[in-house]
Amino acid sequence: MTSAALKAARGLIRDFGEVEQLQVSRKGPADFVSTADHKAERTLRAELSKARPSFGFLMEESGASVGSDEKQRWIVDPLDGTTNFLHGIPHFCISIALEREGEIVAGVVYDPTRDEMFWAEKGVGAYMNDRRMRVSGRTKLDDAVIATGIPFRERGHHESYLQTLGAVMATCAGVRRMGSAALDLAYVAAGRYDGFWEFGLSPWDIAAGILLVREAGGQVSDPGGGNDPLRTGEIVASNVQLHPALAALVRKGARRAA
């Protein structure tokens, strides 16, 4: 997985250096796809298929395909943070997860601009390059910095989001919106952020990050406390101490807008 990410990242870095000359097409309001996405996805599919030819795929650009081993599949986002990438903002990543019988058992999030490889395997722990990661130890929301994602224009319920944002802002030390859910979760696992929440996400946005946080000692759920945000697309992640209070704030904001 790490080798595939490194190979795909070489092409992304070359394209990022020539971002103004990329051919870009729109696939929806404020939701762009570049030639870089497709090239990275082709590289990842080729490398992962070479390593495990029987596994299926769920990929952002090309969708789902079932392998001969129906119990295992790769969940891949070749470029999480596409809008950042296309605007020359060096905050984007490659995300790869391995799902086995409905459970994420391995995950990689690679930031090529900083050469930071976040990886985890179930029962083995979470690491950044060769260093073990742990979630932050803060226990009070008023000391915590929380990350989130803002819905794209014409996508998502903006009023509900703003109510939730207001509830979190009024309680926490700060809120950050950096534009890559996979990296946000990796940063929670590394203790850089104390928590993260977002709505309307796809499996490839969060599959690897969920395992990173859990293997780093954190807790991940949907706002209602369910343990399968991969299916709902709604996620709250933090350390165990902050999680009940953060999830309650997110629910409070959502109820206020309902």
Model pLDDT for residues 156-206, shown as the tens digit of each residue: 566 778 888 998 999 999 999 999 999 999 999 999 999 999 999 999 999
Of the candidate ranges 25-29, 97-101, 110-114, 213-217, the one whose mean pLDDT is the lowest: 25-29
Which residue did the predictor score with more confidence, 86 or 171?
Answer: 171
- As a whole number of angstroms, the distance between CA 75 and CA 95 comes to 8
Q: Would you state the pLDDT for residue 18?
A: 83
- As a whole number of angstroms, the distance between CA 168 and CA 238 comes to 14
Residue 170: phi and psi, rounded to 5, are -70, -15
What is the percentage of the chain residues whose pLDDT exceeds 70? 91
Q: Would you state the pLDDT for residue 181?
A: 98
Query: Do the beta carbons of residue 107 and residue 120 sit within 8 Å?
Result: yes
Which residue did the predictor score with more confidence, 137 or 86?
Answer: 137
Q: Confidence band (pLDDT; 50, 70, 90) for 150?
A: confident
- As a whole number of angstroms, the distance between CA 38 and CA 24 comes to 11
- As a whole number of angstroms, the distance between CA 229 and CA 233 comes to 5
Mean pLDDT for the chain overall: 91
Q: Would you state the pLDDT for residue 26?
A: 63
Q: Where are the domains of the chain?
A: 2-132, 141-257
Which residue did the predictor score with more confidence, 217 or 159?
Answer: 217
Q: Would you state the pLDDT for residue 170?
A: 92
Do the two domains 2-132 and 141-257 of this chain adopt the same fold? no
Assigned token pair, 237:
């992640």
Q: How many residues does the chain have?
A: 258
Q: Would you state the pLDDT for residue 257?
A: 46
Q: CATH fold of 2-132, please?
A: Fructose-1,6-Bisphosphatase; Chain A, domain 1 (3.30.540)
Q: Hey, CA dihedral for 142, 189, 91, 156, is it positive or negative?
A: negative
Q: Would you state the pLDDT for residue 134?
A: 98
Q: CATH fold of 141-257, please?
A: D-Maltodextrin-Binding Protein; domain 2 (3.40.190)
Assigned token pair, 65:
């395909």
Helices (H), the chain: 2-17, 35-51, 82-86, 158-169, 181-189, 203-215, 229-232, 243-257
Mean predicted confidence (pLDDT) in 15-43: 76
Query: Residue 163, Cβ neighbours under 10 Å: how many?
Result: 17
The answer on pLDDT for 7 being more than 60 is: yes
Q: Confidence band (pLDDT; 50, 70, 90) for 255?
A: low
Angle at Cα 115 formed by Cα 20 and Cα 9, nearest 5°? 50
The answer on pLDDT for 88 being more than 90 is: no
Tokens 């790490």 sit on residue: 2
Residue 213: phi and psi, rounded to 5, are -65, -45
Kindly state the DSSP code that residue 156 receives in the 8-state scheme: S
Q: Confidence band (pLDDT; 50, 70, 90) for 31?
A: low
Q: Confidence band (pLDDT; 50, 70, 90) for 258?
A: very low
- Beta-carbon contacts of 115 under 8 Å, excluding residues fewer than 6 positions away, are 129
Q: Would you state the pLDDT for residue 34?
A: 79
Residue 202: closest CA among 21, 61, 20: 61
